[in-house]
């Protein structure tokens, strides 16, 4: 069965049509909920949301990606699935004191779901952008990201940090977005000269990710409490974490050093050093933070040994999903194909997610 077109769903053109990207994080993993720093890039794939008034007093949602329809009354809760993200955004707007009329909502995405590129943040930010345009709401892009995060926590029941929603709201595909999770200040930075990125999916499905994510958050809070600081971002002496008992010592070490890596990278290092920082980040996520799995270790190894690859790491929360590699300009496609051939020869189902994510000069966004 083929999906409904937007025109058929609305019986003409929608009133508004907005979109938002997913994200690939280059550096700064598991730092956002520790008030730290990160450096994501937007994906070229985007999620689209179109809206028009509904004439039957209900919210009528349609996902062209899933070919699924959902209908609910304004006073009802939406069923689980893509509709809960949409409802979460509506409720966040209402919580700010604005009323949202019943709507027809059309959703489609080019983002793979569950591959670690934050398709959920893309959906939330696209929906909030569409509501902002339709209702002329006075929210800036940071406010939008915060509302999207609250929607994710309250309605999708994922206790996430702010990185994904900030990236979906503020990043582009030609720059790295430096984010300070405490102040929510941000800056677009140049990708290292003469480099490009490739993003490869391990094909490993989600498993322990949610429970381990919450466990890591709790460990970080406990480590900060024992160190007598509000968050791990506030650790002034990196050596102080060494006095903590295991595994808090390793968790805190990762966060403190990962923050330092992001700050070094935004200081303007070349591609070679940036790649080293990515390799160090992966080792730290594997050994100290313990969120990698053998498949992600193999995949990053196979990427790293390719000619003209500066560095590679898992991207996102870990336990499944994708890896990103920084490559010499022009080398990414070959490196990705060679690494994937080796990975899949071992019986894995890896695939290319983003063939080449590149420098701003050749980006038309």
DSSP assignment of 318-331 equals: SSSSEEEEEEETT-
Tell me how far the alpha carbon of residue 183 is from its chain's centroid: 19
- Regarding 33 and contact with ligand GLA (CB under 6 A), the answer is yes
SS3 117: coil
Of residues 31 and 358, the one with the C-beta less far from ligand GLA: 31
Distance of CA 23 to the CA centre of its chain: 4
Within 13 A of 98's CA, how many CA atoms are on the CB side? 16
Which range binds ligand GLA by CB under 6 A, 29-37, 84-92, 123-131, 277-285?
29-37
Among 18, 29, 87, 196, binds ligand GLA (CB under 6 A): 29
Catalytically annotated residue among 35, 67, 140, 164:
164
Shortest Cβ 349–ligand GLA spacing (Å): 22
20 close to 125: Cβ distance less than 8 angstroms = yes
Among 85, 79, 263, smallest CA distance to 158 is for 85
Smallest separation, CB 43 to ligand GLA (Å): 13
**Residue among 30 and 46 whose Cβ is closer to ligand GLA:** 30
Q: Rounding to the nearest 10 degrees, give the CA dihedral for residues 172, 177, 180, 181.
A: 50
Residues 67-96, mask of contacts with ligand GLA (x by CB under 6 A): ------------------------------
Among 51, 163, 252, 295, binds ligand GLA (CB under 6 A): 163
* 164: annotated active-site residue: yes
86, 148 in Cβ contact below 8 A?
Answer: no
Report if residue 32 touches ligand GLA, rule: CB under 6 A: yes
Nearest 5 degrees, angle CA 91-CA 95-CA 100?
55
**How many residues contact ligand GLA, by CB under 6 A?**
10
DSSP helix/strand/coil, 359: coil
Residues in 305-344 that interact with ligand GLA by CB under 6 A: 316-317
Q: Does the footprint of ligand GLA cover residue 201 (CB under 6 A)?
A: no
Q: Which of 51, 86, 160, 357 binds ligand GLA (CB under 6 A)?
A: 160
Least CB distance from residue 179 to ligand GLA, whole Å? 11
Left, alpha or beta for 307 (phi > 0: left; psi -120 to 50: alpha)?
beta
Binding region for ligand GLA (CB under 6 A): 29-30, 32-33, 160-161, 163-164, 316-317
Annotated active-site positions, please? 164
């Amino acid at each position: 069965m083929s999906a409904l077109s937007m025109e058929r769903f609305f019986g003409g053109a929608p009133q508004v049509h907005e979109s938002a990207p997913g994200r690939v994080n280059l550096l700064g993993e598991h730092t956002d909920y520790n008030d730290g720093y990160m450096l994501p890039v937007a994906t070229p794939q985007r999620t689209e949301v179109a809206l028009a008034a509904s004439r039957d007093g209900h919210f009528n949602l349609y996902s062209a990606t899933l070919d699924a329809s959902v209908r609910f009354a304004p006073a009802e809760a939406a069923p689980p699935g893509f509709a809960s993200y949409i409802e979460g955004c509506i409720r966040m707007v209402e919580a700010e004191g604005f009323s949202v009329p019943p709507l027809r909502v059309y959703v489609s995405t080019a983002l793979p779901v569950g591959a670690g590129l934050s398709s959920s943040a893309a959906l939330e930010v696209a929906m909030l952008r569409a509501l902002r345009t339709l209702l002329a709401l006075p929210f800036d892009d940071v406010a939008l990201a915060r509302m999207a995060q609250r929607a994710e926590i309250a309605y999708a029941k994922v206790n996430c940090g702010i990185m994904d929603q900030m990236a979906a709201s503020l990043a582009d595909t030609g720059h790295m977005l430096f984010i300070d999770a405490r102040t929510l200040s941000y800056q677009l930075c140049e990708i290292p000269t003469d480099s490009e990125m490739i993003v490869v999916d391990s094909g490993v499905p989600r498993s322990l990710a949610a429970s381990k994510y919450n466990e890591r958050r709790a460990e970080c809070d406990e480590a900060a409490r024992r160190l007598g600081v509000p968050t791990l971002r506030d650790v002034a002496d990196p050596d102080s974490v060494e006095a903590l008992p295991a595994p808090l010592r390793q968790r805190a070490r990762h966060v403190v050093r990962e923050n330092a890596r992001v700050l070094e990278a935004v200081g303007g290092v070349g591609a070679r050093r940036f790649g080293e920082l990515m390799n160090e980040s992966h080792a730290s996520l594997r050994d100290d933070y313990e969120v990698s799995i053998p498949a992600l270790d193999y995949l990053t190894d196979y990427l790293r040994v390719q000619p003209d690859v500066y560095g590679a790491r898992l991207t996102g929360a870990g336990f499944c999903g994708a890896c990103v590699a920084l490559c010499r300009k022009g080398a990414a496609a070959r490196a990705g194909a060679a690494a994937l051939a080796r990975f899949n020869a071992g019986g894995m189902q890896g695939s290319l997610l983003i063939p080449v994510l590149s420098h701003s000069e050749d980006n038309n966004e």
